[in-house]
């Protein structure tokens, strides 16, 4: 087996063309930016005969050239991804083979985008996202990693090798290195090379996506539950309750995050059981939230309320007990057959929720302070609705816009936090394929071998960037109406 090059046979023809197009694009882009400072802020000019013309002159020409050059670069870049799907193995280089490995993700993405754009007028805010280019790019990046996580985690599809198995002789080998005969794997190459322990970097990076995609949104949901349940009454009642809760929130926020992690996520602290008690406290909030939410709505019809509330609280309570009940920690009372799952990284999960909750609290409190003076709140108060009904069914739905945007941003921030934990080797095992730990592994030999640390870094960057762009698109679209 030969070592794969980056672009293979396709690149012989495509590389020079793409290089030229990209260089031209860069030149016109700079020219346009410079010219833009001196040009009038017009996009359309009216002619004497009553028609409209696009901006002419030098700037107009560069803008048009820019547009077509950008399209050319885009099409050429796509060619690198599409050509390999129809050519045999080994002819299209590393990029081509990676694209082939991601085939299920491409199909899922095309289906999602096709269906969403076709029905976008019936899909509310989600549909409006497809009117904004920025939002679509962000959504695409996020969904790329979501689908990757799903296909790797549930169907075991994209990864080429076992992310833990070490192959002797492949330690720190460059991307595209062939794997010796007789080693199990979907393809006979390490696409992105081997890491310090001779494991396949490509497989580790895609396996790491399952960790982030599973933990980050869930931790953010928990942080939102805590923040909403405490922020609504703080903003609605104000007064002493608000003073105390705000003081506590500011207290946590004044803590440097890394110091907090170093204090909380150590084996000694886990031994004392503090994370378990914190979990017992923080994870109770979803139950409180849904309990109050449903009770405040249906308490006038006790029969109906009980019918809804009992199963909801039953399931949530069971999940709650399963989460906080950990074998070998201070909270370990459930019999094994009742305990659904043991989360090995409970301490990581708890500290991430703990760090995020105060910020959510402050946002919700601020929104509530603003919304409680509205007329519909006064109308509800006049109707004699309870305080919790007003908070949860009148104020909260009207605060959803900024909260959805912040939710996207916060998932990105949580991803960064999880990476930070991994980077300092806190709470995660060194075997763990998550991106932070992999970057931490790779940075130790960074000056000699750069290739092991770069793929997880770029993966993390693209996911967080996608979430930020998605939030930006959502904000723009939700402000339009």
Partner 1 sequence: MGLFILRRLGVMILTALCLTFIVFWLTNLAPNLEKLAKTQGNARMSDEAVTSYLANRGYAQPLPVKYGQWLGVLPGYVIEGSDGGLRARCAGPGESVADAATFCGILQGDWGNSTVFKDEVGSIVATRLGLTGKLMLCVMLVMVPGALILGVLAGMREGSRTDRALSTVSIISTATPEYVSGVVFISVFATATFGMNWFKGTATSAMENATFENFLLPVMTIALYGMGYIARMTRASMTEVMTAQYIRTARLKGVSFPTIVLRHALRNALIAPFTVIMLQFPWLLNGVVIVETLFNYKGFGWVLVQAAGNNDIELLLGVSVVSVFVVLITQLISDIGYVFLNPRIRIS
Name the site residues for partner 1 (rule: CB under 8 A): 32-33, 36-37, 41, 63, 134, 247, 250-251, 253-259, 262-264, 266, 268-269, 271-272, 274, 412, 416, 419-420, 423-424, 436, 439, 442-443, 446-448, 450-451, 453-454, 457-458, 460-461, 464-465, 467-469, 472
- Minimum distance from CB of 457 to partner 1 (Å)? 4
Nearer to partner 1, 46 or 243 (CB): 243
Number of Cβ within a 10 Å radius of residue 180: 11
Nearer to partner 1, 226 or 469 (CB): 469
The pair of three-digit structure tokens given for residue 241, joined into one six-digit string: 């309750």
- Minimum distance from CB of 154 to partner 1 (Å)? 27
The angle formed by the CA atoms of residues 86, 463 and 158, to the nearest 5 degrees, is 35
Nearer to partner 1, 310 or 450 (CB): 450
Q: How far apart are CA 110 and CA 206, in angstroms?
A: 20
Number of Cβ within a 10 Å radius of residue 459: 21
- Minimum distance from CB of 264 to partner 1 (Å)? 8
Nearer to partner 1, 55 or 297 (CB): 55
- Minimum distance from CB of 458 to partner 1 (Å)? 8
Closest to 387 in 3D by CA, of 295, 264, 468, 277: 295
Nearer to partner 1, 255 or 318 (CB): 255
- Minimum distance from CB of 446 to partner 1 (Å)? 5
Contact 473, 120 (CB under 8 A): no
Q: What is the dihedral of CA 157, 161, 164, 168, to 10 degrees?
A: 180
- Minimum distance from CB of 301 to partner 1 (Å)? 45
- Minimum distance from CB of 60 to partner 1 (Å)? 12
The pair of three-digit structure tokens given for residue 423, joined into one six-digit string: 């980077």
Local structure of 328: helix, strand or coil = coil
Nearer to partner 1, 155 or 247 (CB): 247
Helices vs. strands in the chain: H and E counts, helices first: 20, 4
SS3 percent helix, strand, coil of the chain, rounded to 5, is 70, 0, 25
H/E/C letters for each residue in 134-200?
A: HHHHHHHHHHHHHHHHHHHHHHCCCCCCCCCCCCCCCCCCCCCEECCCCCCCCCCEECCCECCCCCE
Q: How far apart are CA 284 and CA 321, in angstroms?
A: 9
Contact 25, 69 (CB under 8 A): yes
Strand-pair partners of 45: 53
- Minimum distance from CB of 209 to partner 1 (Å)? 15
- Minimum distance from CB of 393 to partner 1 (Å)? 31
Nearer to partner 1, 257 or 313 (CB): 257
Contact 390, 381 (CB under 8 A): yes
- Minimum distance from CB of 133 to partner 1 (Å)? 10
Nearer to partner 1, 120 or 443 (CB): 443
- Minimum distance from CB of 202 to partner 1 (Å)? 17
Nearer to partner 1, 295 or 420 (CB): 420
169: left (phi over 0), alpha (psi -120 to 50) or beta: left
Q: How far apart are CA 220 and CA 412, in angstroms?
A: 10
The pair of three-digit structure tokens given for residue 372, joined into one six-digit string: 């409680």
User: What Rg value do the Cα atoms of the chain yield, rounded?
Assistant: 27
Nearer to partner 1, 322 or 420 (CB): 420
- Minimum distance from CB of 235 to partner 1 (Å)? 20
Nearer to partner 1, 293 or 439 (CB): 439
Phi, psi of 43 (to 5 degrees): -110, -25
- Give me the DSSP letters along 76-128: HHHHHHHGGGTSPTTSSHHHHHHHHHTHHHHHHHHHHHHHHHHTGGGSHHHHH
Query: How many residues are present in the chain?
Result: 481
Nearer to partner 1, 274 or 308 (CB): 274
């Amino acid at each position: 087996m030969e070592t794969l090059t980056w672009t293979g046979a396709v690149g012989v023809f495509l590389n020079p063309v793409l290089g030229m197009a990209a260089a031209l694009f860069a030149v016109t882009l700079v020219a346009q930016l410079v010219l833009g400072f001196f040009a009038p802020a017009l996009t359309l000019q009216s002619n004497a005969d009553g028609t409209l013309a696009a901006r002419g002159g030098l700037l107009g020409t560069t803008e048009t050239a820019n547009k077509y050059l950008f399209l050319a670069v885009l099409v050429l870049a796509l060619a690198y991804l599409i050509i390999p799907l129809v050519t045999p193995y080994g002819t299209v280089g590393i990029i081509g083979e990676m694209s082939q490995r991601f085939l299920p993700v491409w199909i899922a993405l095309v289906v999602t985008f096709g269906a969403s754009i076709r029905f976008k007028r019936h899909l509310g805010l989600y549909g409006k996202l497809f009117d904004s280019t920025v939002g679509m790019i962000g959504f695409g990046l996020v969904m790329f990693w979501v689908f990757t996580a799903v296909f790797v985690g549930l169907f075991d599809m994209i990864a080429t090798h076992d992310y833990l198995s070490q192959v002797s002789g492949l330690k720190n080998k460059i991307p595209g290195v062939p794997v010796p005969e007789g080693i199990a794997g979907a393809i006979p190459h390490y696409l992105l090379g081997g890491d310090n322990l001779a494991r396949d970097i490509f497989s580790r990076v895609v396996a790491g996506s399952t960790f982030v995609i599973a933990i980050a949104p869930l931790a953010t949901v928990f942080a939102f539950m805590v923040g909403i349940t405490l922020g609504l009454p703080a903003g609605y009642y104000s007064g002493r309750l608000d003073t105390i809760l705000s003081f506590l929130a500011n207290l946590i926020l004044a803590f440097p995050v890394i110091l907090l992690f170093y204090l909380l996520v150590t084996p000694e602290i886990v031994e004392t059981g503090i994370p378990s008690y914190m979990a017992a406290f923080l994870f109770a909030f979803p139950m409180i939230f849904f309990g109050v939410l449903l009770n405040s709505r249906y308490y006038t019809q006790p029969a109906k309320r009980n019918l809804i509330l009992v199963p909801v609280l039953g399931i949530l309570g069971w999940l709650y007990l399963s989460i906080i009940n950990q074998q070998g920690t201070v909270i370990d009372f459930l019999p094994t057959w009742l305990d659904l799952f043991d989360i090995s990284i409970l301490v990581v999960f708890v500290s991430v929720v703990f760090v995020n909750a105060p910020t959510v609290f402050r946002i919700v409190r601020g929104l509530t302070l603003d919304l409680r003076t509205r007329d519909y709140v006064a109308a509800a108060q006049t109707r004699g609705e309870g305080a919790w009904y007003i908070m949860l069914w009148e104020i909260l739905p009207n605060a959803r816009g900024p909260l959805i945007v912040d939710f996207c941003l916060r998932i990105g921030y949580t991803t960064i936090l999880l990476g930070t934990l991994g980077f300092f080797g806190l709470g995660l095992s060194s075997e763990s394929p998550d991106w932070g730990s992999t970057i931490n592994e790779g940075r130790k030999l960074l000056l000699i071998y750069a290739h092991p640390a770069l793929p997880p870094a770029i993966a993390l960057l693209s996911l967080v960037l996608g979430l930020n762009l998605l939030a930006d698109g959502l904000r723009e679209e939700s402000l339009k109406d």
